[in-house]
Amino acid sequence: MNVDVLVVGGGPAGMMAALAAARGGMSVLLVEKNGYLGGSLTSYGTFPMLTFHGPKGQVIWGYPQELVNELRQGGFSPGHVADGIGYAPSATPFHAEGLKYVSERMLRAAGVQLLYHSLFTEPTLDGTRVTGATLWCREGRVVVNAGVVIDASGDAEVAARAGAGYWLGREEDGLTQPLTTYFRLGNVDLGQVREYMRRHPEEFHAGSDPDAQFLAVSGFFSLWRKYGPANVPRDRLLFFQTSLSAEVAVNTVRIVGANALTSAGLSAAEVEGREQLHALLTFFRAHVPGFEQAELVAAAASVGIRETRRIVGEYTLTVPDILEQRSFDDAVAQVYYPIDVHAPTGQGDDFHKYTFTEPYAIPFRTLVPRGVQGLLVAGRCISVSHEALGSTRVSPISMALGQAAGTAAALALSRGIEVGSVPAAPLRAALNQAGARLPEVRYA
């Protein structure tokens, strides 16, 4: 099989990469292990999307915003609303089944060929150049030749097997952020939750709003200290009201020390996640106001991974880059999200360590693996430090980076140049023409 662009992974980054490359006139094959698109937003159950906004207004536009518009039009999202915890400038609730449907229609309309239930196994190499990949499909081994390959696997699978360097976890010990198992509870009396928050504001994250349109809760600190399950290494409950009546999405499970790059490690994490989930269900029903009659609606199809490999790219984004809002002439995304590092050892979060109030830029070079040609990386596995990943890993940012990768692939192939060498000016111009609204580059 021959295509212009092969995208490995159909999550937030992969969807946008495939869409951008196809709209750039390229033949595109998107390979996805599941039978649907969405990645973390669908298989992990991640909810809501955080965030399209900075403190002073929206910063992520383009194709990610087009997806939100389509979700709204289909009745699958209210669009951007206030974050009830007050942690991010906005939150974007959505219906996961609606996202599967809407994203699929968008990609098919652009001419993207979708290949579900297929696994990437190894890249095809010509020296240090990636020229395609071998897939394992239901019918057996399939070889795909491509002008450009985009690794949107989340784990830098293509890049690592092509010989690109990468980091794993934090520098001092290699530990990664913990995994989670999202689950949804129904038959919840949200009125009781809101009333408890009004009477006990000290029990919740500062800035929490009990009257938010979509309730978001980070707290119940005292109840957790007294009755919290011993097998859940956390200091609070974290959950979000969904678009369905009397339902919340819970993000409280915390699985530490798991190796998410091995089947054995992920299997152990799946088992541990379910153990924690059911301990939490008992805790909710016995001790949390409004959850006395709560019902388990669903658990995520797959354990949620926050961090695995991060490539060694032509540039590595660091915390000082974020805090100082450094300018890059090859900036392909203007984004904002707090540096939210879930403690690799379990208890606590490190998001209070750094504060910043302005959006920051991500340069194209973070998508380019050093020493490997014909390949771009998009999503959480770009070239960033462990702490910077605490900000860049979220789905709207991954989508913006995916659009950048797909646009760069189309430009490279149309001009007959190496994808990692696409000039910044035409790349940024193409992104802005597609609605990205990148600001002018600032120079010191």
Confidence (pLDDT) at 354: 85
pLDDT at 351 over 60: no
pLDDT at 350 over 60: no
Q: Can you tell me the mean pLDDT for 226-251?
A: 95
Beta strands in 18-165 (DSSP E): 28-31, 53-54, 57-58, 113-115, 119-126, 129-137, 140-151
Q: Rounded to whole angstroms, how far apart are CA atoms 56 and 357?
A: 9
Same domain, 82 and 125: yes
Same domain, 47 and 64: yes
Give the DSSP letter of residue 227. Answer: H
Report the DSSP pairing between strands 375-377 and 140-151: parallel
Asked if residue 20 lies in contact with residue 73, where contact means CB atoms within 8 angstroms, the answer is no
Calculate what percentage of the chain has a pLDDT beyond 90.
Answer: 92
Confidence (pLDDT) at 46: 96
Residue after which a domain boundary falls, among 268, 299, 330: 299
Measured CA to CA in angstroms, residue 114 lies from 18, 143, 374 at distances of 10, 15, 21
Calculate what percentage of the chain has a pLDDT beyond 70.
Answer: 98
User: Is 341 part of any domain?
Assistant: yes
Beta bridge partners of 186: 295
Q: Rounded to whole angstroms, how far apart are CA atoms 238 and 75?
A: 26
Four-CA torsion 385, 303, 102, 87, nearest 10 degrees? -50
Same domain, 167 and 278: no
Q: Rounded to whole angstroms, how far apart are CA atoms 169 and 173?
A: 7
Confidence (pLDDT) at 342: 87
Confidence (pLDDT) at 349: 56
Q: Can you tell me the mean pLDDT for 293-301?
A: 98
The residue assigned the tokens 């008992």 is: 282
Strand, helix or coil for residue 150 = strand
Which residue, 91, 170, 233, 60, is CA-closest to 390? 170
Task: Give the CATH number for residue 32.
Answer: 3.50.50.60
Beta bridge partners of 348: none
The residue assigned the tokens 């915003």 is: 65
Same domain, 217 and 144: no
User: Is 439 part of any domain?
Assistant: no
User: Is 444 part of any domain?
Assistant: no
Same domain, 376 and 317: yes
User: For residue range 102-127, what is the model confidence (pLDDT) as tens digits?
Assistant: 999 999 999 999 999 999 999 999 99
Confidence (pLDDT) at 10: 99
DSSP characters over 395-406 = HHHHHHHHHHHH
Q: Can you tell me the mean pLDDT for 46-67?
A: 98
Taking each helix axis from N to C end, the angle separating 395-415 and 12-23, rounded to the nearest 10 degrees, works out to 30
Confidence (pLDDT) at 88: 94
Instruction: Indicate the average pLDDT of the chain.
Output: 96
Confidence (pLDDT) at 315: 99
Same domain, 260 and 325: no
Residue after which a domain boundary falls, among 299, 330, 360: 299
Tokens matching residue 407: 């646009």
Same domain, 397 and 354: yes
User: Is 178 part of any domain?
Assistant: no
Asked if residue 228 lies in contact with residue 234, where contact means CB atoms within 8 angstroms, the answer is yes
Asked if residue 170 lies in contact with residue 342, where contact means CB atoms within 8 angstroms, the answer is no
pLDDT at 99 over 60: yes
Residue after which a domain boundary falls, among 270, 299, 328: 299
Confidence (pLDDT) at 242: 96
Q: Rounded to whole angstroms, how far apart are CA atoms 378 and 229?
A: 37
Sign for the pseudo-dihedral over CA of 412, 416, 420, 425? negative
Distance from the Cα of residue 276 to its chain's centroid: 23
For residue 254, the one-letter residue type is R
Confidence (pLDDT) at 101: 99
- The radius of gyration of the chain from alpha carbons, rounded to an integer in Å, stands at 21
Which residue, 44, 37, 154, 144, is CA-closest to 99? 37
Same domain, 156 and 208: no
Dmax over Cα atoms in the chain, in whole Å?
65
Phi/psi of residue 200, nearest 5 degrees: -135, 60
Confidence (pLDDT) at 51: 96
The count of structural domains within the chain is 2
Determine how many CB atoms are found less than 10 A away from the CB of residue 408. Answer: 30
User: Is 440 part of any domain?
Assistant: no
pLDDT at 245 over 90: no
User: Is 211 part of any domain?
Assistant: yes
User: Is 176 part of any domain?
Assistant: no
Phi/psi of residue 156, nearest 5 degrees: 55, 40
Report the number of secondary-structure helices (H) and strands (E) in the chain: 11, 18
Same domain, 347 and 250: no
Asked if residue 145 lies in contact with residue 131, where contact means CB atoms within 8 angstroms, the answer is yes
Confidence (pLDDT) at 444: 44
Same domain, 220 and 337: no
Host domain of residue 214: 183-299
User: Is 291 part of any domain?
Assistant: yes
pLDDT band for position 401 (50/70/90)?
Answer: very high
Stated pTM of the model? 0.96
H or E, element range at 311 = strand 309-311
Same domain, 321 and 407: yes
Q: Rounded to whole angstroms, how far apart are CA atoms 100 and 46?
A: 13
Strand, helix or coil for residue 283 = helix
The residue assigned the tokens 């010191």 is: 444
Same domain, 104 and 64: yes
pLDDT band for position 348 (50/70/90)?
Answer: low
DSSP characters over 121-146 = EEEEEETTEEEEEEEEETTEEEEEEE
Q: Can you tell me the mean pLDDT for 235-242?
A: 96
Confidence (pLDDT) at 326: 95
Confidence (pLDDT) at 355: 84
Confidence (pLDDT) at 441: 76
Q: Can you tell me the mean pLDDT for 238-253?
A: 95
